[in-house]
Chain A
Amino acid sequence: MGYEAVIGLEIHLELNCMTKMFCNCPNLPGDEPNLNTCPICLWFPGAIPQFSHETLEKAVITSLALNCEIQKESAFDQKVYYYPDLPKGFQLSQAHRPLARHGWLDIIGMDGRTRRLRIRHVHMEEDVAKLVHETEGRTPISLVDFNRAGVPLVEIVTEPDMRSPHDAMEFIRALRMQIRYAGSADCSMEAGTMRVDANISIRPEASEVMNTKVEVKNMNSIRHLGDAIAYEMQRQEACVRNGEAIVLHTRLWDPDRRMTTPMRGKFEGPCVPDPSVPAIRLSEEWISEMKSRLPEMPGEKVERFINQYGLSRDEAVMMSSERDLSEYFESVVKENIAPRLASHWVATQLLPLIRERQQNIAESPVTPARLAALLSMLAGEEINTSSAKIVLTQLFERKDSPEAIVQMSGFSQVSDKDELDRLVDRVMADNPSAVEDFRNGQAKALGFLIGRAMQASQGKANPKMIREILTKKLG
């Protein structure tokens, strides 16, 4: 009998707000310890939390990007537990009345078909402080850094709609793409601004039962998420086959040993409504305003790129995979560059060079205008493809315009008929056997001769004209 997994995810995202959630301290948890603290986030007696409007806006934008219904009324609760990372004995969260519900994201399943995965709700939550364990002489001590205490988070809780590591990884990729488009969070598992916990249970294939789940934490990349789920599925399957009961508990992914290990049970406290932070009531108008602030999302953009620019679906998906990239592409196209040429060059030439240099496309020295100028010379046959590639590399190092580089480096394409005639004659004279081969019906030899001619011109010859002249002379 085969088993399938039932997987739900709980995702914490750090919103990229300027300030913390309930005070004006900078949202910079990585600063020197306890630098970004104040009477509110240290919960001095007499302080009153001041809910940040920016947190609300970014949380709403995030929820909208996940196709959620924003709730007109939501409220904060206190998640009660005692731990030194929590400065007041409870964490402000939205357990009973979350900000948004009923979202979804589409992914491509392993069978290649589109699947819609549901999001149960999205709620706001404050982050807790960071504990550092050290020793003072031989005494173990614990230090608390409150820079992170009160940093704004949203928690996204999915329905248990995923069935495989693939589904979970694709879901996180889709989520990351949506949120990065919306611009409300950085979503880096590696940097810890996105933390993903997976709830996993298994059941016989095609069954509808929901078995006891196990929570797995501590994955710090999408690949680890997939590996941890795959490991946990195998572990649970082995348990079931051995007749062992699955018990509800939490496990930690150990990336070095590539396995999950049980974690000491964490105390789950109650959630009571918070009397100090006012309930949130959102008007229809305000929600519409937030919707209008949401940029065109990747799904719509793909369709538009296909319809407006005649890109293939693959090209359109590629060009909309990141918001910066899509904006770059469109800026190039706006300079009267054929969209498919632009898409091709951005995808196959520009992006690899940017990645090599660990740059960001939005900040690349090859601005859309400079790439467009280069592509415009290429399209006008002023330079050939191989020269264009060299010029592109130089655009990273030099501030000169593409036109200036072409001129200074003598890359201008030779399209002078007489000059090319002479060149072709010389190449034919130097390669009599290839000429012979072609005349004997070996079409390949034409390519060889074109290559020789290009080489002889140091890449400057117009390849189209060379082909025409050669074909005529050989014929």
Chain B
Amino acid sequence: MSIDTFVYRNTSPPPDAAGTPLSGKRFSVQPNMSVRDWPTGAGSLALEGYVAVENATVVGRLQMAGAYIVGSTRMSEFGLGICDDSSARAVVDGHADIALITDTMGEARMAAALTGLCGFKPSYGIVSRLGLIGLVPSMECFGMVARHPADITAVLGAVVGPDENDFSMVVDGIPDPGAEKGDGDLRGSFGVVPEILELLGKEEIKIFRENLKWLEMNGWKVHEVSIPDFALFPVIHNVIGSVEASSSGGKYDGVRYGYRAQGTKNWNEMYLKTRDEAFGFLVKTYFMQGAYFQFENYQAFENACRIRARLLRETQRLFEEVDMLVLPTRRHGFPADTARSVKETYEAFSFTVLSNITGQPAIHLSNPRGGKPFEPGVQLVCPHCADFRLLSVAEQLYACWKGGY
């Protein structure tokens, strides 16, 4: 089992890190998160044999905080989707306390939802992306999967903060772990987006409503708030994500590193054959879609950027009415762990792409009592940079759940 879960195992012993914030905590990473001298193939033939030359900022900070990185897990090519992903498995099987997972469209939340764990995606720009090898720079981040939100709070506390080498981070407002945690009674209001109901089956709606009722019983207020174009989130993610991926993937040409096809006569042939052989079906389709928008339908891409800005404004406005949004995480009949095409992947991630598009933090909480086949899960989304408040609410909800449902 562990052979399947890990593609690389750390051979050095755990550090003696008594007294550090993450002392004794075991982490798994993915092979697209740079750990110096570790094979860093990003789940792709394109980076076969590639070894990281420096640590990702996040990896360095985890080690500074006393964490032990046990190894890297199997992953989908460049972290797109979770159909070949074993990061949550590393936690379920007890090999790691926290799994880091690339979150491009909701992978951390989805992997958690499928395994009864807790999955978190931080605000865009508050955790350095340096050393993360992904495809969609404006939406991807280090996601985290753990059994309990308190573990995630500790991890985020260790890795959050400016990195002078990542110029894409936010300049103002990066949350401070100490100051933002929030104490006392955090109960406030949740917003439910009725447009999501169109994407759920009868049984799922019933269970989702039961979850909302439970929230109300525990003192949270639940309001309906509307995002009329909710159905556009996956579409916009697909257009912009594929365009960014097509550009990001341009560096895998076999010239400087990674896989290079043999037996070609000139560099044009080398490019074509290398790229033809290097990528799997999902990523290749995604690149082709992106190239289509770049070369053939730029207007559609520009429209998508405009719509993205509008969806962001509309979502931000909802937070004037409610403290957080509550959404389902997954859809019955659209399994993420077997989604192998772009279409299947976006169908599976319909509820999670929102926060990757808006850059807002989101967490999936698995109902400890859960495991019903139609359980859509509970996903909370809150305003940008309110990550520690979100985690505090999650911890409080977990405490209520433990107290009985």
Which residues of B lie under 8 Å from residue A50 when comparing CB positions? 165, 167
Q: Are A275's CB and B137's CB within 8 A?
A: yes
Residue B116 lies at the interface, judged by CB distance under 8 Å to chain A:
no
Contact of A270 among B54, B250, B294 (CB under 8 A): B294
Are A80 and B294 interface neighbours, CB within 8 A? yes
Across chains A and B, which 5 residue pairs bring their CB atoms closest together, nearest first?
A: A89-B250, A275-B138, A88-B251, A45-B133, A46-B131
Given contacts A39-B53, A82-B250, A273-B305, contact A48 B130 (CB under 8 A): yes
Contact of B250 among A51, A84, A90, A275 (CB under 8 A): A90
Q: Could you list some 10 contacts between A and B, CB below 8 A? A: A43-B251, A44-B53, A78-B247, A87-B255, A88-B251, A89-B250, A272-B243, A273-B305, A274-B247, A278-B167
Are B167 and A82 in contact, with the CB atoms below 8 A? no
Give 20 A-B pairs besides A44-B256, A46-B131, A87-B255 with Cβ atoms closer than 8 angstroms.
Answer: A45-B47, A45-B50, A46-B52, A48-B168, A50-B165, A51-B167, A82-B250, A82-B253, A89-B250, A89-B253, A90-B247, A90-B250, A144-B255, A270-B295, A272-B301, A273-B305, A274-B247, A275-B168, A276-B137, A278-B168
Q: Is B249 an interface position by the 8 A CB rule?
A: yes
Question: Smallest distance from the beta carbon of B134 to chain A beta carbons, Å?
Answer: 9
Question: Contacting A48 at CB < 8 Å: which of B40, B129, B255?
Answer: B129
Q: How far is the CB of A89 from chain B (nearest CB, A)?
A: 2
Q: Does A26 reach chain B (CB closer than 8 Å)?
A: no
Residues 25-54 (chain B) with a chain A CB within 8 angstroms: 32, 34, 40, 42, 47, 50, 52-54
Tell me, yes or no, whether B298 is within 8 Å of chain A by CB.
yes
Number of chain B interface residues as a range: 35 or more
- Which residues of B are in contact with A by a Cβ distance under 8 Å? 32, 34, 40, 42, 47, 50, 52-54, 56, 129-133, 136-138, 165-168, 243-244, 246-247, 249-251, 253, 255-257, 267, 271, 294-295, 298, 301, 305
Whether the pair B247, A272 counts as a contact (CB closer than 8 A) is yes
A275 neighbours in B (Cβ, 8 Å): 136-138, 168, 244
The residues of A that contact B129 with a CB separation of less than 8 Å are 48
A275 to B50: give the CA distance in the assembly, Å: 25
A277 at the interface (CB under 8 A from B): yes
- Contact of A299 with B by CB under 8 A: no
CB distance from A36 to the nearest CB of B (A): 15
Partner of A44, one of B166, B257, B305: B257
**Closest Cβ of chain A: how far from B174's Cβ, in Å?**
15
Which residues on A are within 8 Å of B, measured CB to CB?
39, 42-51, 78, 80, 82, 84, 87-90, 142, 144, 269-270, 272-278
CB <8 Å contact, B54 and A48 = no
B56 touches A80 (CB 8 A): no
Q: Is the CB of B167 within 8 A of A49?
A: yes
Please, which residues of chain B bring their CB within 8 A of the CB of A46? Answer: 32, 34, 40, 52, 56, 130-133
Measured CB to CB, the closest approach of chain B to A20, in angstroms, equals 14
CB distance from B257 to the nearest CB of A (A): 7
Note all chain B residues with C-beta closer than 8 A to A87.
251, 255-256
A142 touches B267 (CB 8 A): yes
Q: What is the distance, in angstroms, from B144's C-beta to the closest C-beta of chain A? A: 18
Interface centre among B133, B137, B167 (most CB of A within 10 A): B167
What is the CB-to-nearest-CB distance from A49 to chain B, in angstroms, rounded to a whole number? 7
Query: Is the beta-carbon distance between A89 and B52 smaller than 8 angstroms?
Result: no
From residue B258, how far is it (CB to closest CB) to chain A in Å? 8
Given contacts A46-B34, A46-B132, A50-B167, A89 and B249 within 8 Å (CB-CB): yes
Distance to closest chain B CB from A444 (angstroms): 78
**Interface SS of chain A:** loop
In Å, the complex CA distance between A78 and B248 comes to 10
B179 to chain A, nearest CB (A): 26
Give min CB distance, A167 to chain B, whole Å.
35
Whole-angstrom CA separation of A273 from B308 in the bound complex = 14
Given contacts A142-B267, A269-B295, contact A48 B165 (CB under 8 A): yes
Residue of A nearest to B125 (CB): A278
- In the bound complex, what is the Cα–Cα distance between A434 and B40 (angstroms)? 99
The answer to whether B255 and A84 touch across the interface, beta carbons within 8 angstroms, is yes
Name the distance in Å between B307's Cβ and chain A's nearest Cβ: 15
CA distance A273 to B240 in the complex (A): 11
A109 vs B220: C-alpha distance when bound (angstroms): 78
Write the nearest CB–CB distance from A341 to chain B, whole angstroms.
Answer: 55
Q: Which residue of B lies closest to A37 (CB)?
A: B256
A46 to B165, CA, bound (A): 12
Given contacts A48-B166, A144-B255, contact A84 B267 (CB under 8 A): yes
State the CA gap A42–B251 with chains docked (Å): 9
The residues of B that contact A273 with a CB separation of less than 8 Å are 305
Interface centre among A39, A48, A84, A270 (most CB of B within 10 A): A48
Quote the shortest CB–CB distance from A39 to chain B (angstroms). Answer: 6
Within the complex, the shortest CB–CB distance from B128 to chain A, in Å, comes to 8
Q: Is the CB of B167 within 8 A of A277?
A: yes
A339 to chain B, nearest CB (A): 50
B304 vs chain A, min Cβ distance (A): 11
Report the Cα distance A269→B244, complex, angstroms.
15
Name the one of B56, B165, B257, B271 contacting A82, with C-beta atoms under 8 angstroms.
B271
A278 proximity list for chain B (CB < 8 A)? 167-168
Most chain A CB within 10 A, of B137, B167, B255, is at: B255
Cβ–Cβ < 8 Å partners of B166 in chain A: 48
- Find the B residue at minimum CB distance from A42: B256
Contacts of B136 in A (CB 8 A): 275
Which B residues are in CB contact (< 8 Å) with A84? Answer: 253, 255, 267
